[in-house]
Amino acid sequence: MIRELDTMGVNFEIESSLIKEVVKAVSNFNEEAIFIFDSDGLFVRLSDLNRFKILELSIKSDDFLTYSCESPVELGVIIERIWDVTKTLKNKDILNFSYEKGSDVIVLRANGLTRQIKLIDSKLLSRVPSLIVSYDYTATIVAKQIKDFLKACGKSLMFNVSIENGMLNFNCDTEGGLIELNLDGEECSLSPIDYVGENTYTISEVNNALSTAKNYLAVKGGSEGIIQFSWDVSQNSNSKAFVARRG
């Protein structure tokens, strides 16, 4: 990574695929967000309006092409305004982002196009506190498996997650019949293997929470009813989605 020192704000270059992933993930939770930059990179924590689900997204400085931020900066952004630019980007395009301390705009540049984007006062946006949750079990699953299961649920509203007899089970009653995804506890690294429990979640909320999930998902859950999915966004960066049980 090339690091250019600039104490007056935030400047970075980022690959189109990564910034698109950030925008998509955030937009599936809320229209507005606080982007927090510091020397380590970008951090975003936000929830949906009803706080049924929370996203924590951390993009480390090493995963930018260039990155400069010498002191913490909080920027209130309307996601659609950034999406208006990122939607025009193709694979391997590079986006340049710049913000000067004290300004009320950020400047995005890509493919000869320059756009100033008006910021909103971050003090007016709702802040989501860090969750403190006690989990009873952990497992590792393939993202495509849970996404295919949710897609197969069709227009159904809810699905169940249960653990019994050393199996991690996802099931949904649909108009056409029962849909199940049954995973052997040993194959998905379920721990403890003898845990027993069940919770119900909303399909649309989990679908949105996992919109950018890929490869392997670390899953945590338990009697408190919050299920956590976490996955790698890039080499050094990660995302966590928390969804509250329903019903």
Tens of pLDDT, residues 8-63: 799 999 999 999 999 999 999 999 999 999 999 999 999 999 899 999 999 999 99
Phi, then psi, of 27 in degrees rounded to 5: -65, -20
* Residues 209 and 241 sit within 8 Å (Cβ to Cβ): yes
Q: What is the reported pLDDT for 8?
A: 72
Q: What is the mean pLDDT of the chain?
A: 94
The CATH class for the domain spanning 9-124 reads alpha beta
Q: Which CATH superfamily is domain 137-244 in?
A: DNA Polymerase III, subunit A, domain 2 (3.10.150.10)
Phi, then psi, of 157 in degrees rounded to 5: -95, -35
- Is pLDDT of 4 > 80? no
Helices (runs of H) and strands (runs of E) counted in the chain: 4, 17
Per-residue confidence band for 3, with pLDDT thresholds at 50, 70 and 90 = very low
Rounded mean pLDDT of 203-230?
A: 97
146 or 7, which is more confident? 146
Per-residue confidence band for 247, with pLDDT thresholds at 50, 70 and 90 = low
- Is pLDDT of 2 > 80? no
Calculate the alpha carbon distances from 22 to 16, 70, 89, 167, 188 in Å: 10, 22, 14, 33, 27
Q: What is the reported pLDDT for 146?
A: 97
CATH 3.70.10.10 in the chain: give the residue spans.
9-124
CATH 3.10.150.10 in the chain: give the residue spans.
137-244
Rounded mean pLDDT of 125-137?
A: 93
Helix/strand/coil percent split, the chain, to 5: 15, 45, 35
Look at residue 45 and give its three-state secondary structure: strand
